[in-house]
Amino acid sequence: MKQYVTKIVLILSLVSFFADIASEMLYPILPGFLASIGFTALGIGVLEAVAKLVSGLGKTYFGALSDQLDRRVPFIRLGYLLSAIAKPLMGLFPQMAPVFAARLLDRVGKGTRGAPRDALLVAESMPENRGKVFGFHRGMDTLGAVIGPLLVLSFIAERELTEHYEALFLLAFVPAIIGVGLTFLLPVPPKTARNSRPRKPQPLKGIFAFWREASPEYQRILAGVLLFALINSTDMLLLLRAAEIGFSPYEVIFAYVLYNLVYAALSLPFGKWGDRFGFKVVFLISVLLFSGCYLALGSVENTEAMWGIFVVYGAFTAANDGSVKSWLSLHIPTSQRATGLGLYGFLEVLGLALASAAAGAIWKGSSGKALFLGVGVAGFVIFFLLLFIFPAQPKS
Q: Any idea what DSSP says for residue 231?
A: T
Query: Which CA distances in Å does 102 have to 78, 126, 148?
Result: 16, 38, 19
Q: How far apart are CA 26 and CA 148, in angstroms?
A: 8
Q: So what's the pLDDT on residue 195?
A: 47
Going residue by residue through the chain, which has 396 residues, state the pLDDT in tens, using 9 for 90 and above. Answer: 457 788 999 999 999 999 999 988 887 777 778 878 888 767 777 787 788 788 888 888 898 898 888 889 999 999 999 999 999 898 788 788 888 899 999 999 998 998 899 999 988 888 888 888 888 998 898 888 889 888 887 777 655 555 567 788 888 999 999 999 999 999 876 655 554 555 577 777 778 788 888 888 888 889 888 899 889 887 878 888 888 888 887 788 788 889 989 988 898 899 888 888 888 899 999 999 999 999 998 888 888 889 999 999 999 999 988 788 888 888 888 888 888 888 888 888 788 778 877 887 888 787 778 889 999 999 999 999 888 887 665 444
Q: So what's the pLDDT on residue 355?
A: 85
What's the one-letter identity of residue 339? T
The three-state secondary structure class of 120 is: helix
What contacts 24+ positions apart, CB below 8 Å, involve 285-289?
285/319, 286/316, 286/317, 286/319, 286/320, 286/323, 287/228, 287/320, 287/379, 287/382, 287/383, 287/386, 288/379, 288/380, 288/383, 289/313, 289/315, 289/316, 289/319
Q: Any idea what DSSP says for residue 28?
A: G
* C-alpha torsion angle, residues 84, 85, 91, 95 (rounded to 10): -130
Q: So what's the pLDDT on residue 272?
A: 87
Q: How far apart are CA 179 and CA 81, in angstroms?
A: 9
Q: So what's the pLDDT on residue 194?
A: 52
Q: So what's the pLDDT on residue 292?
A: 94
Q: So what's the pLDDT on residue 97?
A: 87
Q: So what's the pLDDT on residue 388?
A: 81
